[in-house]
Amino acid sequence: MDIIVATHNMKKRDELCRILSPLGINVHLAEDLGIELTDVEETGTTFAENAFLKAESGCKEGGLPCVADDSGLAVDYLNGEPGVYSARYSGGHGNDEANTQLVLKNLEGVPFEKRDAAFVSAVCLVYPDSTKIEVTGKCRGKIGYEPLGTGGFGYDPVFLPEEYGYEKTMAQLTSEEKDKISHRGRALRMLVEKIGELK
């Protein structure tokens, strides 16, 4: 199956390709096909709504099934923030360091047991006949006190997944370790199962 990935985030794009390709999905980047995708305004109030907006637009412009992900960090103590504003939490768009520092600032003085959080990934696949598949993956963990590790992107350096006993941040994991437990990895594996059910 051939699909287009709708994202301008290079690191997210690499992750999508890395996870989907071994699962039998031929992942194409729009520019490789000579298609320029519109940068869709994320006006949705949920991750799922934003993922659908991006996938629908990419499918219309590319003429192929299109997959899009909208994801972010939800911190329990902060009532789910930064949520859908994860990429622009500090004001600008995509400033990972500033966004991470603002989360840490907002959690100053909060004890470890109250620093629960989840990474959430809503993935949507839209077909040219308007069929759509929507899935959501989550990874629970806690927010550490300082950035650690050089891998990943976004809030990975301060997110301590429960699968590793809160002892390593996402940014300290190998790509393989991260993909097994990550919100995006879980969502994409569910997506491939649902694609199989359509056949």
pLDDT in tens, 45-82: 999 999 999 999 999 999 999 999 999 999 999 999 99
Domain extents in the chain: 2-198
Q: Would you state the structure tokens that stand for residue 6, as one six-digit string? A: 């709708």
Report whether pLDDT(42) > 90. no
Q: Of these residues, 69, 70, 96, 179, which one is catalytic?
A: 70
Share above pLDDT 90 across residues of the chain, in percent, rounded to a whole number: 69
70 is catalytic: yes
List b or e across 26-39, with b for residues whose CB sees 16 or more CB atoms inside 10 angstroms: ebbbbeeeeeebee
- What is the chain's mean pLDDT, rounded? 92
For 135-158, write each residue's pLDDT tens digit.
999 999 999 999 999 998 999 999
Determine phi and psi for 166, rounding to 5 degrees. 60, 25
* pLDDT, greater one: 39 or 66: 66
Indicate the CATH number of 2-198 among 3.40.50.970, 3.40.50.10470, 3.90.950.10, 3.40.920.10.
Answer: 3.90.950.10
Query: What single letter denotes the amino acid at residue 76?
Result: D
The SS3 assignment for 21 reads helix
Higher per-residue pLDDT: 40 or 123 = 123
The shares of helix, strand and coil residues in the chain, as percent rounded to the nearest 5, are 45, 25, 35
- Residue range 87-104, pLDDT digits in tens: 999 997 879 999 999 999
- E-strand ranges in the chain read 2-5, 26-29, 66-75, 116-126, 132-143, 159-161
> If 0-12 CB within 10 Å is exposed, 13-18 middle and 19+ buried, where does residue 154 land?
buried
